[in-house]
Amino acid sequence: MSRIWLPVLLGLICVYAQQCPEKNGRFADPRQCDKYIECEDGVATEKLCPDGLLFNDKARFFSYPCSYPTDVDCTGREATQPPQPSGDCPHQFGYFRMGADATQCGQFMNCADGRGYVFDCPEGLAFDSTTLQCNWPDLVAECDAEGFLGFTCPEEKVSSLGPAGFSASRYFRSPDNDCTKYFICENNRPRMYRCGVGRAFNEFINTCDGPENVTGCA
């Protein structure tokens, strides 16, 4: 072998050795969160997760290594590939809240390979982009709970003998005369509930009751 090529070959071997801390495994790129190095028998191959997914260094070797952002810690390697939007999807993969403003919180889109599929949260819940789950609207920062639910908790009268502020829970019958629907105000923020089939909310006992016991609901 030529003496000129020998140093080059040795240099390449050193690069691969540095990229593969172990003979087999997957290892995070030090700068980019959706990029990783896959090592097989000491040979390193640079790979990239699909747009919208990130490399999960906690995934087992024989499982898929790319996960949604909520499952990955990107501290120190926050860079990602440029977005690849298509249609209604800002990324090829991911969950995204729908709605033009903060009062439209109940729908989200699941994007898979660039195709968007619309889903509804259970009634009364809002989609939280930080956890990718449906939650009480008052706990979702980007949701206007009052506008979304169409209900604002009445101002609470605080006794001069008691502490200032609001009580933990207050119950209210739905103002739209829907006997099965009611609201509970937690720290003066509304949450919507429904009674089961054949039941109606009784505001005098703050629970669901037979409709014959609730005025206007028999």
Say what the pTM is.
0.80
pLDDT of res. 11: 39
Domain spans in the chain, listed from the N-terminal domain onward: 11-71, 94-149, 169-213
The overall average pLDDT reported for the chain is 88
b vs e for 116-142, b when ≥16 Cβ sit within 10 Å of the residue's Cβ? Answer: beeeebeebbbbbbeebebbbbbebee
Share of the chain above pLDDT 70, in %: 86
**Which of residues 162 and 103 earns the better pLDDT score?**
103
Contacts 24+ apart (CB under 8 A), 156-162: 156/188
Q: Which of 32-36, 85-89, 162-166, 177-181 has the lowest mean pLDDT?
A: 162-166
Q: What is the pLDDT of residues 53-97, one digit of tens each?
A: 999 999 888 899 999 999 999 999 999 999 999 988 999 999 999
Q: What is the CATH number of domain 94-149?
A: 2.170.140.10
How does strand 200-202 pair with strand 181-186? unpaired
pLDDT of res. 10: 35
Fold identical between 11-71 and 94-149?
A: yes
Q: Which CATH fold would you assign to the domain 11-71? A: Antimicrobial Protein, Tachycitin; Chain A (2.170.140)
Q: Is the pLDDT of residue 5 over 50?
A: no
Q: Is the pLDDT of residue 3 over 60?
A: no
Q: Which residue has the tokens 């605080």?
A: 158
pLDDT of res. 103: 96
Q: Is the pLDDT of residue 6 over 50?
A: no
pLDDT of res. 159: 52
pLDDT of res. 2: 44
